[in-house]
Amino acid sequence: MNARKNKKVASIALLVILASSGLLAQSTTPSPQAFNTTIYFDYSFNATNDGDLTGLDTAKALNNKFAFRRAYFTYENKISDDLKFRFRLDADNVNAVDAKGKKDDKMRPFVKHLYLDWAGLLPNSTLKIGMVDTITFKLAEDRWGCRSVAKTLTDGYKDITGVDIRASSADLGANFTGAISKELRYGFMVTNGEGYAHPELNKYKKFAGQVQAVPVAGLSFVGYAETERLSDSAAARLDKVDAFFDMVPNLNISGEWFIYDSDNNKNAADLSHYNVGGFSIFGTYKIIIDKLNIFVRFDNYRPNSTDSDKDMSLVIAGLDWAPIHSSWKIQPNVWFYNYKDANKKSDIVVNVTFFLSF
């Protein structure tokens, strides 16, 4: 009886919330629902055997392997012309152990996206609420277009350098993006700041803003800034600039630069402060539309501004080939790591990435 009553109260509360947001004021069209699965799958081998990553010890020498990197399952429901719902499960390997302490690396799904997308608040705008995709590197990732091969600089910084800059591709909160004119766009975001892997751990939120200027057709500049209080005594800030050049048909050249400054970044030896930064320049060229693209990228990583020996660079080059249909791609690619530290030898890893989307 109580359960029924609670349900009724919850239903009324939900209706009040929806009505107050104006959502029920619109009539709705039927719900075109879409299911999609995307998989990134690699065959990789080490072309070097004496590098920092590809050394002779057992773990480093592990080459010639097949590996799933990502498997996404996405459900989208278009509730009306202005309102959409998106649910995405992501799966990757986690370093887990079972109840008996035995290593268990099965791919495990987790919620990556779970949000409402409402395009009716202002003209040419979109409001997303829930576990949303962040605005931090979405524009760069769209231009790079080879997420199956590699994350963009800021997104993949922790994977490459081991240094956490608290930049996540999804987070719990809201973002609002839109266009004032064809020359000027904006974006705002308020999230927990913990990404999709953790619940909120403190009372503070991450605030971000972005402005994109497109002064001439095909040339964009994006300025992004975010700030987050990490504790009562520490804060962090990420500043980022992107530039996109699309003025030549089938060619894109882009650049991404960022600096991350956290009060918690202190050298252990003398507690001196350092910041983290890097830049990336990448280009893609469509040789045959929808069939064959070539991509090249140069990343520079500076994980500690007070210790240049930690600097490193990464060159990624490859082909994006869809022999039959764009839902099935083969992407041979080479990663060339180079380190500032003279004691670290360069690494070359060759991958053949299989991209499947259906």
Partner 1 sequence: MFYAKFKKAIAIAEIVLAFIFAPILLAQKKMIQVKGSDTMINLVQILAEEYMAKNPKSPIAVLGGGSGTGITALINGTCDICDTSRDWKDKEFSLAWEKGIKPRLFAIAVDGLSIIVNEKNPLTRLTMDQVGAIYRGDVKNWKTVGGPDMPISLYGRQSNSGTYTFLQEHVLNNKNYSPDMKEMNGNAQIIEGVKADEGSIGYVGVGYVIDKATAKPMKGLKVLDITKDAKSEAYSPMDKGAVDSGKYPIARPLWQATNGKPSADEAAFILFELGPEGQKIVEGEGFYTIGAKYIEANAKNLK
Say how far apart CA 69 and CA 333 lie, in whole Å: 15
Question: What does the radius of gyration of the chain's CA atoms come to, in whole angstroms?
Answer: 22
- Tell me the β-bridge partners of 260: 238, 276
Structure tokens at 299: 């990343």
Is residue 313 a contact point for partner 1 (CB under 8 A)?
no
**Choices 52-60, 92-100, 161-169, 177-185 (CB under 8 A): range interacting with partner 1:** 177-185
**Nearest to partner 1 of 114, 294 (CB atom):** 294
Q: Please give the C-alpha separations between residue 315 and each of 154, 334, 348, in angstroms, as whole numbers.
A: 15, 8, 10
Q: What minimum distance in Å lies between the beta carbon of 78 and partner 1?
A: 7
Q: 165: which 2 tokens?
A: 């800059």
CA distances from 204 to 194, 236, 333 (A): 10, 11, 41
214 binds partner 1 (CB under 8 A): yes
| Site residues (CB under 8 A) for partner 1, limited to 109-148 | 123-124
The tally of CA atoms less than 13 A away on the side-chain side of residue 172 is 10
Contact status: 164 vs partner 1 (CB under 8 A): no
Kindly report the number of other CB atoms within 10 A of residue 137's CB atom: 25
Under the binding rule (CB under 8 A), the answer on residue 158 touching partner 1 is no
- Is residue 324 near partner 1 by the rule CB under 8 A? no
56-75 residues in contact with partner 1 (CB under 8 A) are: none
Q: Does 243 bind partner 1 (CB under 8 A)?
A: no
For residue 59, the 8-state DSSP code is T
Q: Is 217 in the site for partner 1 (CB under 8 A)?
A: yes
Measured from the CB of residue 236, what is the shortest distance to partner 1 in angstroms?
Answer: 30
In angstroms, give the least distance from the CB of 11 to partner 1.
20
Contact status: 272 vs partner 1 (CB under 8 A): no
Question: Whole-angstrom Cα distance, residue 137 to residue 167?
Answer: 9
Binding status of residue 47 toward partner 1 by CB under 8 A = yes
Helix (H) or strand (E) run with residue 130 in it: strand 125-133
Positions touching partner 1 (CB under 8 A) are: 26-30, 32, 47-48, 50, 78, 80-82, 123-124, 179, 181-183, 185, 212, 214, 217-220, 246-250, 286-292, 319, 346, 348
